[in-house]
Amino acid sequence: MSDGFYGREQARIHHEAFGRLADRAADRLLAELRTAGIGGGTFVDLGCGTGILARRMLEAGFDVLGADVSPSMLEIARVEAPGARLVEASLLDLDLPPCVAIAATGEALNYATDPRTGPTALAHLIRRVRMALAPGGVFLFDVSLHGRSGPNRRRVQFHNRRDWSVGVVETVDDTSITRMITTYLGTSSGGYTRTDEVHGLWLYDADELLALLDSARFEAGRFADYTDPEGMPGWTVIVARAV
């Protein structure tokens, strides 16, 4: 059966097994804010997922507004980060308050969950982010890029745990990824249930993104990974500071 976009099973598995990216992003964001002499204020988490980054920012003394389109993700996030204000909304619709930091991790800017997404919508969002940020404020995000999945334009991954298995097949064209996710979840009777999700993602060019940020009055730099200088082909982290 189809499980929509990060339905209940995918949300739970993502939270339990793949939360390290959000923790690493929190480390990087907090370090950037310390460098800027910013120790408090409002933080906006675009595509907040299950609330791991939101929790870390709350613990560091920031006020947190988060938005996600997955009700199942938000259900977990409200437990993970009970002090955050969390709303079910597209990041294209969220009213951005005056703030000191905005993040969009876990490919939140790539996902085509809204028919309006794409390069034009992203350029508009970047301008809105800059208008919301205080001078010196930080915009941190990660994105998938052209060239992802290598020359054969296909990537296959399997993840196995005691009570579940997830298979991911990505196919890539010139502008997008189609990501097919199949999850087998063990049941108490010894059988399993199967859920399928199909995710669409836009692909972007890093140099074009940096040019967009520059035109919106950001100073921006590109990094291979939050912690790994080698990074992953076709995926990068960008840290931009409002000037």
Q: Evaluate if residue 75 carries a pLDDT over 70.
A: yes
Share of the chain above pLDDT 90, in %: 82
Confirm whether 3 is domain-assigned: no
**Other C-beta atoms lying within 10 Å of the C-beta of residue 52:** 26
Confidence band for 147, pLDDT divided at 50, 70 and 90:
confident
Residue 172 sits in the same domain as residue 108: no
Confidence band for 227, pLDDT divided at 50, 70 and 90:
low
- Provide the residue range defining the domain that includes 53: 8-145+204-242
Number of structural domains (the chain) is: 2
Burial status of residue 184 (CB atoms within 10 A of its CB: 0-12, 13-18, 19 or more): middle
Identify the DSSP state of 2: B
The mean-pLDDT minimum among 24-38, 144-158, 183-197 falls in 144-158
Q: Evaluate if residue 156 carries a pLDDT over 80.
A: yes
Average pLDDT over residues 191-206: 93
Q: Evaluate if residue 229 carries a pLDDT over 80.
A: no
Please provide the distance, in angstroms rounded to a whole number, between the alpha carbons at the two ends of the chain.
48
Structure confidence at residue 232 (pLDDT): 67
| DSSP element (H, E) containing 177 | strand 176-186
Residue 174 sits in the same domain as residue 225: no
Confirm whether 2 is domain-assigned: no
Q: What is the CA radius of gyration of the chain?
A: 18
**Other C-beta atoms lying within 10 Å of the C-beta of residue 8:** 17
Q: Evaluate if residue 2 carries a pLDDT over 60.
A: no
Confidence band for 231, pLDDT divided at 50, 70 and 90:
low
Report the CATH number that the domain containing residue 49 is assigned in CATH.
3.40.50.150
Structure confidence at residue 92 (pLDDT): 95
Residue 38 sits in the same domain as residue 141: yes
Structure confidence at residue 3 (pLDDT): 60
Q: Evaluate if residue 234 carries a pLDDT over 90.
A: no
Residue 21 sits in the same domain as residue 131: yes
